[in-house]
Chains A and B, each alone.
Chain A
Amino acid sequence: MKRKIPPQVGVIVVSVILMTRLAAQAPNAQTIHEVGQQYKEGNTLQGAMDNSAITSQAMFEANLKAKKNIVDMKPNTFLSLWNNPAFAVQFEKYLSAPAETTEDYKIYRERIQKIMDLLSPGYATKANQDEAFNLLSKASEFESDANLCTTIHDAVYAAANVRVLVMRLTEANQQNTKELKTAEYNQLHSAQSLSLPALAPGKNDVVVNNEIQKELRTAVMEPSKDEVSSMKATIQKNKAQIATAEIQAKFQMQALILQLFVQRRYQHVIILNRFYRALFDDGDQSLEEFNQMADKMGYNKEAGQVKIVADAAPKGSVASGTTGNNGPGVGAHAGDNGAGVGTGGYYGNSGDATALSGSGLNLGVQNLSVESAQNALSTAMRGASRTFKSLSQIDSVANEIIRDVNEGVKVYKFLLEKQELESAASQIAAVFTKGEYLPSVRLLSQDDKRKTLAYAQLCNRLVNAANSGNIDILIEVVDKMKQLNPGFDDAEIRSKLQSVKTASSLYVAQAKVAAAKGDLQGVQTQITRAAALWPNNPELQTFSAEMSRVSEKASPMVQALSDFDQLEGQGNYRRIFDEKEKYIAAVAADDSPKKTERQGKLRAVLDRMQEIEASIMRAQEISRRGDQAGAWEGLEVTFQKYPDDPKLGQLRADLTTKTPDFVNDIRQAKEFEERKEYGSALAWYLRAQGRYPMSDLSKQGIQRVVRNIAPNAN
């Protein structure tokens, strides 16, 4: 079974391909676009065929590990039944159908039961048989009967007619026998009273006289001889006709009984069987005709046997055929339930053939031809004749099956009450298989069947999930099954699922190893295998993300943008400024939605750094002129604005050591000012100004403090 590769697998593979190509095969490519352009220009993906083969292999392994091991292990009997789709559909239909509690079905059941009671041993009087016979037509009016009672009615009617024919022929033969005896007597009398001419008049007339006597004798005796001969022939012909008609009638009824048995219409089997016993007093040899016919069937070895495709559901097929003259009629029919073949009467003219395949003998054929069908028929009939030696056996088995099914229905209800759903489902499946049409099965309420239906649907999902190889769905279904049916034996399934997961993870691990070695083919192989086993393996997503990161690192532009975002976030503006050319180019080429935001941030960083750098240069120049306090003061103003710049901080520290008194005065002044000790602050500012009269910091500090001391001072 082919399985589709999940989209994420494709993403992973493409990602891996890109990554490796970026790193190994496109050393000169600076961006992803460039790499992609190289592909367009003919850098084909090598080993595509190999990849396909690897994928197929992985699919095979997935099937082997996930599907086959899980489905074929048949965790329970019930699940195994669902491996037969035809049965599953039929069974699901039954479980969904409401109980046949209609008034019509009730009347039908009562009529069938009435017929069976009327024909039951000890009650089958002539009047009861007639009443039962009449009820057949009425029972056949209901849809549930599928006109089977009409078929039985016709078969019984035909058999009864044969009996009348036989009686009439028998009576005719008796009359013919009497007439034959009279004719024989008359013939004897004629012979005894025959008067012939005397001796010939002359010696030469002897021969002529003999001839005349001979002709005379013939003329006298021939009519009586012919009459006797004719009567004998009529008697023999009637005897043959009696034998033929009776055998044909018996065979037809026997075949119909077997057919009904195969159709699991056990009540009809019993009814027809009892009619048969009423019509023909065969005793335990009642299947003799059928068996003899089966033994007489030839077998054409050259034609071969129809190859039987059998399943567990015993379904019958019916066919009809017609033959001319005195030969067996053969009918073949390939229906939904398989092929049926049958034979008509050996002894009549234009005998109709009734075909059957039953007793689990033939269902589904190959190599179907007239000869092979004959062979199949022969085999089927022999099988049936070996299965049942008498109608008593069939009757007994049918009764036993009815009892067994009724008991199975009770057991099903009991198991359902005990919430042993798996056993209950198996039970109802067995009951359904054996006696689908029996009243106890048809009368099961919809509520009684719903739980099994839910379980059956889960079983179907389990099979489908196993077939799909999606173990996540499989786990979900198993969980639900376990929830619905606590007795569900999920140990083996879970064990298998865990094995598959482990195998998938191992493949991912191998893919990582291959990636570390730069082995593209290895990565693809292992990832494909891992995804085939477990498409939603979270490790695959992780691996994909890792590969994406690796591939991004292979692009300087992407890396530069990533670095810019990171450095800007960290406030490391000096680092950005030191490599501003790279970041300017990267942001300019950025085609992501964050481009505008990045441009704004980059502009702010550059403005800030330019201000800092200008301040540093100015301070260095002032310092070179020997004005350390002036240099420090200029730097201090910028430092207050950008205290986190390391270069600015370092230079400020250096200048502090060159003019410590002034710096100390300023710091002390600020300290007192912050403590609102304005007198002291003013004193320190004045002192600093005394040391460096050009000091702006001192001047501003003095003005600030004076305003605090005397707000309205001018």
Chain B
Amino acid sequence: MSRRRKSRGLPASVLLVVVVLLAAGGYWIFSQGGREGSLRTVEELDPSLYYSNANSLRGNTYRINAEIDSSLGNSPDKGRLFSITLRDASKAGAPVILPVLVPPALGSLTIQKGQHYLMKVKVGDNGLLSVEEAHKP
């Protein structure tokens, strides 16, 4: 019976180079998108679903890409109420303007008209979107 021929593998140097390259890429990625890392796994809000039946979304958490439209009110207890325009939705048609409540816990967050934020919002009992996290992109 014939003896099997011993296969040849990649040279160790090549493997080393590959590993180094992967590590460098990972570092770059982390160094580039670290602030959005926490919202990456959050589902984006569907405006049409929200308009038609916000009750069905109650308790859910969504990610929105919002531009601050105007301040609707400011309550020491409840927080600040803003109207925001969804950036992605406006591309499809009429602007989608939604109200969001920035709770007092995020009081340190400086919010002004025209600012761009990535927000993590939770649908409240009365359909109001309450901001849990907000980052500038």
Contacts and interface: CB of A to CB of B under 8 A. Distances in A.
Interface stretch (A349-357, A433-441, A466-474, A671-679): A671-679
B83 A709 contact: no
Interface stretch (B3-11, B24-32, B35-43, B123-131): B123-131
Interface in B47-84: 50-51, 54-55, 72-79, 81, 83
Interface string A689-713: 1110000000000100010011111
B123 to A, nearest CB: 8
Contacts of A714: 73-75
A687 interface: yes
B127 A680 contact: yes
Contacts of A690: 94-95, 97
Interface in A643-680: 668, 672, 676-680
Nearest to A683: B98
Given A683-B50, A683-B54, A684-B51, A709 B97 contact: no
Contacts of A702: 72
Interface string B84-103: 00000000001111110100
Nearest to A678: B126
Contacts of B73: 706, 709-710, 713-714
A712 B77 contact: yes
Q: Which of B50, B74, B97, B129 gathers the greatest number of chain A CB atoms within 10 Å? A: B97
Contacts of A679: 54, 99, 123-124, 126-129
A35 interface: no
B54 A680 contact: yes
A681 B50 CA distance: 11
Nearest to B124: A679
A714 B75 CA distance: 7
Contact of B76 (A677, A683, A712): A712
B78 A686 contact: no
Nearest to A691: B94
B127 A709 contact: no
B99 A713 contact: no
A682 interface: yes
Contacts of A710: 73, 75, 77-79, 81
Contacts of A680: 50-51, 54-55, 126-127
A709 B78 contact: yes
A686 B128 contact: no
Contacts of B77: 710, 712
A239 B77 CA distance: 160
A690 B51 CA distance: 14
B81 A713 contact: yes
A680 B47 CA distance: 11
Contacts of A713: 72-75, 78, 81
B74 A678 contact: no
A9 to B, nearest CB: 77
Contacts of A686: 83, 97-99
A679 B72 CA distance: 13
Contacts of A687: 51, 96-97
A678 B77 CA distance: 17
Q: Looking at chain A, what size class is its interface with the partner chain?
A: 20 to 34
A677 B126 contact: yes
B16 to A, nearest CB: 56
A714 B54 CA distance: 26
Interface string B104-130: 000000000000000000011011110
Contacts of B55: 677, 680
B73 to A, nearest CB: 3
A682 B100 CA distance: 10
Contacts of B50: 680, 683
A670 to B, nearest CB: 15
Nearest to A661: B94
A678 B101 CA distance: 12
Given A679-B128, A686-B83, A686-B99, A706 B72 contact: yes
Nearest to B54: A680
A668 B127 CA distance: 14
Given A682-B99, A714-B74, A706 B127 contact: no
A689 B99 CA distance: 12
Q: Which of B50, B55, B78, B127 gathers the greatest number of chain A CB atoms within 10 Å? A: B127
Nearest to A672: B127
A676 to B, nearest CB: 7
A678 B83 CA distance: 14
A678 B55 CA distance: 11
A253 to B, nearest CB: 133
Nearest to B51: A683
B126 to A, nearest CB: 5
B72 A678 contact: no
B127 A677 contact: yes
Nearest to A681: B127
Contacts of B83: 686
A668 B95 CA distance: 17
A702 B124 CA distance: 18
Nearest to B98: A683
B75 A678 contact: no
Interface string B9-28: 00000000000000000000
Interface in A325-378: none
Interface string A284-323: 0000000000000000000000000000000000000000
Contacts of B129: 679
A683 B126 contact: no
Contacts of A677: 54-55, 126-127
A684 B51 CA distance: 7
A677 B51 CA distance: 12
Nearest to A713: B73
Nearest to A707: B73
Contacts of B51: 668, 680, 683-684, 687
A711 B51 CA distance: 24
B126 A709 contact: yes
A690 B98 CA distance: 10
A609 to B, nearest CB: 39
Contacts of B75: 710-714
Nearest to A668: B51
Contacts of A668: 51
A678 B128 contact: yes
Contacts of A709: 73, 78, 81, 101, 126, 128
Interface of B: 50-51, 54-55, 72-79, 81, 83, 94-99, 101, 123-124, 126-129
5 contacts: A678-B126, A679-B54, A683-B54, A690-B97, A691-B94
Interface of A: 668, 672, 676-684, 686-687, 689-691, 702, 706, 709-714
Question: Which 5 interchain pairs have the tightest Cβ spacing?
Answer: A679-B128, A679-B127, A713-B73, A710-B75, A680-B127
